[in-house]
Amino acid sequence: MRVARLHGVGDLRVAEEAVPEPGPGEALVRVTAVGICGSDLHWFGEGGIGDAVLDRPLVLGHEFAGVVQTGPLAGTRVAVDPAIPCEHCSSCQHGHQNLCPDVRFAGHGQTDGALREYLPWPEHLLHPLPNGISDAAGAALEPLGVAMHALDLAKPRVGESVAVIGAGPIGLLLVQLARSAGAAQVIAIEPRQHRRAAARKFGADLAIEPAEAASIQADTVIEIAGPDAAVDLALRAARPGARVVLAGIPDTDRTTLPASTARRKGLTLLFSRRMNHAYPRAIAAVQHGLVNLEPMLTDHFPLTEAPAAFAAAAGRTGLKTTVTVSPGTVEP
């Protein structure tokens, strides 16, 4: 099978490897589509993310869909939850599997991800896809779940305003979700013109540059960009007493913010990590028309052109970049 492995910063190589064997409780999945996430770009461009660093050739890719090849779900198209929590720690026992300290996550650390034609994965983390959701959209259910989790933490109230800092793929999903959740005004703050245009298309009442945001005082703010400048903007765009959710990932494992702004406004700050049991809800949101994924999927590359796909994603000229891994129904 073909595999794309990251050997070093910017060094992504496509090679042939043996098809892996599924273990107990696992099914073999033929991967069809993989979305490239901002966290993948951290691995590609910096050789790590947060306190995790590249110490071996790693298969990236945690946003993915495929077709099950073995077991009870054989032949079923599925979206795949990339997180394998331990299920035994205090976080897992209290229902916070996304906070599990021993979680194994596709394309992170010692766990190879989905930029390969086949991978074994736990059967209980495979979610059947309805016919109306394409493979590429099935892969995009993962960032949708991340957006849903951030919105859950934000707890926006019907009739209030929501500001989204950063209109990348997850930010655009947050714009749609905030609108569907009953926000009276949705504001997207984004420096890139084409992303501001996309935010308007997806339902933002205002889509403005950071320099134009001085007068914004939103009831709820969700930051999904990462840099300190975005965090600073999130605090300034929040009204006194607001909730601010920080969901972006900075380039380095450190975030600096203006304490005086947060303190004087009495802001509630929350940090969002990945998602928690979001796939069934994400699938339902797409099925019921609350979110439209397809217009966000702008760039498509075959697995053999994975390095070019990462270069395109890093350039941020489109919206969402997807790698088509193994279309069709060929068996291993």
The domain that holds 79 is classified in CATH as 3.90.180.10
- 303 plus 212 within the same structural domain: no
Q: Which residue has the tokens 């928690």?
A: 276
- 133 plus 41 within the same structural domain: yes
Give the ranges where the chain is alpha helix by DSSP (H). Answer: 38-46, 90-93, 135-139, 141-154, 169-180, 193-201, 228-236, 259-265, 279-287, 306-315
DSSP letter string over 80-121?
Answer: E--EE--S-SHHHHTT-GGG-TT-EETTBTTB--SSBSEEEE
CA distance linking residue 1 with residue 112, whole number of Å: 14
Helices (H) and strands (E) in the chain, counts: 10, 19
The residue range of the domain holding 13 is: 2-140+293-324
Percent of the chain past pLDDT 90, that is, above it, reads 89
Query: Which secondary structure element, helix H or strand E, spans residue 163, and what is its range?
Result: strand 161-165
- The rounded mean pLDDT for the chain is 94
- 79 plus 208 within the same structural domain: no
Contacts of 49 (CB under 8 A, 6+ apart): 39, 42, 43, 108, 249
Model pLDDT for residues 131-159, shown as the tens digit of each residue:
999 999 999 999 999 999 999 999 999 99
225 falls within a domain: yes
Tokens of 12: 């992504």
- Taking the alpha carbons at both ends of the chain, their separation in whole angstroms is 8
Q: Count how many domains the chain has.
A: 2
* Torsions phi, psi for 240 (to 5 deg): -60, 135
The amino acid that residue 180 corresponds to is S
- 136 plus 200 within the same structural domain: no
- 312 plus 230 within the same structural domain: no
Q: State pTM to two decimals.
A: 0.94
- 126 plus 220 within the same structural domain: no
> Which of 136, 143, 135 minimizes the C-alpha distance to 173?
143
Note down pLDDT in tens along the chain; length 332 residues. Answer: 999 999 999 999 999 999 999 999 999 999 999 999 988 998 999 888 878 889 899 999 999 999 999 999 999 999 999 999 999 999 999 999 999 999 999 999 899 999 999 999 999 999 999 999 999 999 999 999 999 999 999 999 999 999 999 999 999 999 999 999 999 999 999 999 999 999 999 999 999 999 999 999 999 999 999 899 999 999 999 999 999 999 998 888 889 999 999 999 999 999 999 999 899 999 999 999 999 999 999 999 999 999 999 999 999 999 999 999 986 443 33
280 falls within a domain: no
